[in-house]
Amino acid sequence: MTGFDTLWQVIKTFLGLSLFSLGGGNTLLQEYQHLSVDTYHWITNNQFADLYALAEAAPGPSSMIVGLLGLEAGLRHGVLWGVLTGLAAEIAILLPSTLLMVAAALSWGRFKDSPFRIAFERGLGPITLGILFSVGLTVLRTADHHWLAYVVSFLVCGLMLFTRISPLYFMAIAGLLGGFGLIQR
């Protein structure tokens, strides 16, 4: 594989997924994991979990994990290829949905009361719900291999639901626990 092959593989992959990112993009995580680990072997399972955590911890929309996946896929051909592939991945995942969104923004007045829109919103909501539970389970299984890691995950999940504390604190505390060797892979 040359750098260009990898670049093209990355662009093709994310262009094709863009319009399936329902419910804010997180619905695609499971697909990202499957494609970048199992199908194309850009990264390992553990690395996928790491990159997901990095994207969540870093400022900005967490959907930028796609840029990270592209970066890691391209880095085997050098830093320049890595950054180029990362940028291309981000553009590829955003371009189709952005074009659709521009069209939607400009024609919303006509579209908003159509039965299609109502059915789309009500029908795809439950599908998104099912996908998000599946994504949660997949990320959990990818990330955690130790009972204490599961305890941390479930605790954080509960805190996310019942408090308004910034998740950055949870990640910092869990990072410390990991640093002291309390949580293992």
Partner 1 sequence: MPAPSPSPKALFFGMLQVALSAFGGGLSAWSQRIVVEQRRWMSNEAFLTGLTVARLFPGPNQINMAVYIGALFNGFIGAMAAIAGMLLVPFSILMLLGLVYFRSHALPAVDHVLTGVVAAAAGMALSMGFKILHEYWRDPLAILIAILTFLALQVANFKLIPVVLVGGPIAMALYWPRARKSQAEN
The residue behind tokens 């094709």 is 16
CA 95, 99, 105: angle at the middle one, nearest 5? 135
Residue 165, SS3?
coil
Smallest separation (angstroms) from partner 1 to the CB of 86: 6
Minimum distance from residue 5 beta carbon to partner 1 (Å): 19
Among 4, 34, 78, 80, binds partner 1 (CB under 8 A): 34
Q: 């970066």: which residue's tokens?
A: 71
Query: Which SS3 state, helix, strand or coil, does residue 42 take?
Result: coil
Judged by CB under 8 A, the chain residues 66 through 105 that form the site for partner 1 are 67-68, 71-72, 75, 79, 82-83, 86-87, 90, 94, 96-102, 104-105
**Nearest distance from residue 147's CB to partner 1, in Å?**
11
Structure tokens of 53?
């955590």
Task: Report if residue 15 touches partner 1, rule: CB under 8 A.
Answer: no
Site residues for partner 1, 117-176, by CB under 8 A, read 117-140, 142-144, 148-150, 152-157, 159-161, 166-168, 170-171, 173-176
**Binding residue (CB under 8 A) for partner 1 from 12, 19, 78, 80:** 19
> Does residue 11 bind partner 1 (CB under 8 A)?
no
From candidates 64, 77, 81, 92, binder to partner 1 by CB under 8 A: 64
Q: Over 22-79, what HEC string results?
A: HHHCHHHHHHHHHHHHHHCCCCCHHHHHHHHHHHHHCCCCHHHHHHHHHHHHHHCCCH
Instruction: Choose which of 6, 9, 30, 36 interacts with partner 1 (CB under 8 A).
Output: 30
Classify residue 164 as exposed, middle or buried by CB count within 10 Å of its CB (0-12, 13-18, 19+): exposed
7 touches partner 1 by CB under 8 A:
no
